[in-house]
Amino acid sequence: GSGPPLLLQCAVPSSPAMRLAPGFVTDSCGSDAFSVRFSPDGAFLAASGAQGRVSIFNVSTGQEAYRLNIDEAEKHPVKQLCWRPEREDATLRTRGVLAGASTDGKVRQWHVTSRRLLQTFGDPQDTGQLFCLDYAPDGRRLATAGLTGELFVFDEETKALTSRLKGGDSLTTAGHCSRVMALRFLQVLGNSDLIVSGGWDNTVQFWDVRAGSAVRAIFGPHICGDALDITADGKVLLTGSWREEEQLELWDFGSGKRLETLPWRSPGSLQEPACSLYCARFSRDASSSLIVAGGSLPNAGKGEAKVFAREAEGAPPKQAGGVVASSGPHCAGSLLSFTCLSADVSPGDGSRVAFGGSDGRIRMMCLESSAAGGPEERASVPIQPETGNKGYPVGA
């Protein structure tokens, strides 16, 4: 159905290298779009929400191409999605596999193009409610966590529970003492034993599957959604906190020391309300050159999302969205007037960014050179949702 226009706030003149441009806005996939994930080839965008529905959108057209999880008798919120990593020599039959973590304590795995539910696994008596999941870089393991504060690691081939991670090393950390809202495998091939997780207890825990427990921790980040990520080289950790200051932080993965706090507001705009973050994620290029994040404002139903460009340490400027980013982190644009619950960047050149809102709509944006249309002033551009998932053509 139609809804109020969404506001895109363009990049400020001081950061002219790239800007956000309107793509399309979908119909609601049910209240609260908890998770959005681009497929490994970037052709599809998966979205899940509070009503248990999983929608797969064609990135080029904005239309819903497939709908999953429609045969379940009881619909439980699907809190997070993750595509299974694909080898270059993978057959069509083994491509396009999507997993989802649900609040009924189960993981469901679908083959998207055939709409088949392949497997349901996890024992709710052990797992409780599940809020997050991630695949190891080689795709042979899947980890999930949620209400209990424990991590559950499953074998991808057999779906057997192979590790149950809980507690700490009794020296530096005691593990989690509350719900886990985000987790990530270290995405470095050849190492599928290291996992990080964060949640309500104001800690980020570092787990070693071989030890069966957390081995160290960072104290401070208050993570309330999909707001934890690691750079492609495994050196930098990103956290997004649901609080009004020091929300977006970068940490050294090896030492756990904080490297930088990225200001959400530019200087001179401190009078604007603070944004508490539900999501934060790196782009998937080799230098992890973009950060996408979003959340809510103090006023009910209000929030925003932003895209930041960053530089890898010691690296020359990298291309993202077909544009060479300028030095230093800067905001490429902000999307206003919605509570942002989830975000992702397309693989490859990172030319598309997707945001999921509390209204169940998915907003697809394009990253392009701001030189294409001349320097942009700070302005709000309305994007009117369409009906029938027609959306807007990307780049319109």
Is the pLDDT at 376 greater than 50? The verdict is no
Is the pLDDT at 314 greater than 50? The verdict is no
Q: What is the value of pTM for the model shown?
A: 0.87
Residue 38: the pLDDT is 98
pLDDT band at 318; cut points 50, 70, 90: very low
Q: What average pLDDT does the structure give for the chain?
A: 85
Residue 328: the pLDDT is 58
pLDDT digits (tens, 9 = 90+) for 43-62: 999 999 888 999 999 999 99
Give dist(CA 341, CA 179) in Å, integer: 17
Give dist(CA 392, CA 384) in Å, integer: 9
- Bigger pLDDT: 4 vs 139: 139
- Bigger pLDDT: 211 vs 268: 211
The answer to which of 126-130, 192-196, 344-348, 372-376 has the lowest mean pLDDT is 372-376
Residue 148: the pLDDT is 96
pLDDT band at 1; cut points 50, 70, 90: very low
- Identify which of 10, 48, 117, 112 has the alpha carbon closest to the alpha carbon of residue 344: 48
* Whether 210 contacts 228, CB under 8 Å: no
Is the pLDDT at 344 greater than 60? The verdict is yes
- Bigger pLDDT: 389 vs 163: 163
pLDDT digits (tens, 9 = 90+) for 89-113: 777 777 999 999 999 999 999 999 9
Q: If you search the block for the tokens 């604007």, which residue do you land on?
A: 272
pLDDT digits (tens, 9 = 90+) for 122-162: 999 999 999 999 999 999 999 999 999 999 999 999 999 99
The answer to which of 50-54, 150-154, 251-255, 292-296 has the lowest mean pLDDT is 50-54
Residue 10: the pLDDT is 45
Written as one letter, the residue type at 314 is G
| Those residues with Cβ within 8 angstroms of residue 178's Cβ, 6 or more apart along the chain or in another chain | 149, 199, 200, 201
- Bigger pLDDT: 313 vs 115: 115
* Whether 243 contacts 220, CB under 8 Å: no
